[in-house]
Amino acid sequence: MEPIQITKIHEQHYHDQHLDLDFGNKTALLDSEPLTLTRKEYDLLAFLIEHAGELVTREILLLRVWGYSNQIRTRTLDVHILRLRRKLGEHRGKYIETIFNAGYRFQPFRAPHLVQRQPQMFALGA
């Protein structure tokens, strides 16, 4: 009898108004145009998206994306984040948030909500 293998099931796609990631095919689109990413840039973005809204520490990113232990001092993560932000262009500030001295957080794009204001009525004195 073979051992049971347990795997974690992920959504196969991420989609919002600007960004599409296909986890199965490892492809990305930005505003419906192919987003050319290196393998590590894609792996980094995919990992952040899989943990959207969560603080992901530098140590976890270095371990999970590069396989580095926390004993290694490197700037590779910072360089890859910078490159990813450049490739995200005008949307760079909407997606990847730096948490000072801790790590990074992916914020899914949320379109601004328009609030319709009700006209105010003023009573005029008699």
How much is the average pLDDT of 16-33? 93
Read off φ and ψ for residue 15, nearest 5 degrees.
-145, 135
Q: What is the pLDDT of residue 9?
A: 37
Domain boundary assignment for the chain: 13-106
Q: What is the pLDDT of residue 53?
A: 93
Alpha helices in 1-126 (DSSP H): 39-50, 58-61, 76-87, 92-95
Rounded to the nearest 10 degrees, how much is the dihedral formed by the CA atoms of 36, 37, 42, 44?
-140
Write the pLDDT tens digit of every residue in 51-73: 999 999 999 999 999 998 877 77
Of 124 and 41, more confident: 41
Reported as a pLDDT band with limits 50, 70 and 90, residue 115 is low
Architecture of the domain defined by 13-106: Orthogonal Bundle (1.10)
Q: What is the pLDDT of residue 51?
A: 95
Cα–Cα separations (whole angstroms), residue 61 to 34, 47, 67, 101? 25, 8, 9, 14
Q: What is the pLDDT of residue 105?
A: 96
Tell me if the pTM is above 0.75. yes
Q: What is the pLDDT of residue 71?
A: 74
Q: What is the pLDDT of residue 3?
A: 44
Contact 62, 44 (CB under 8 A): no
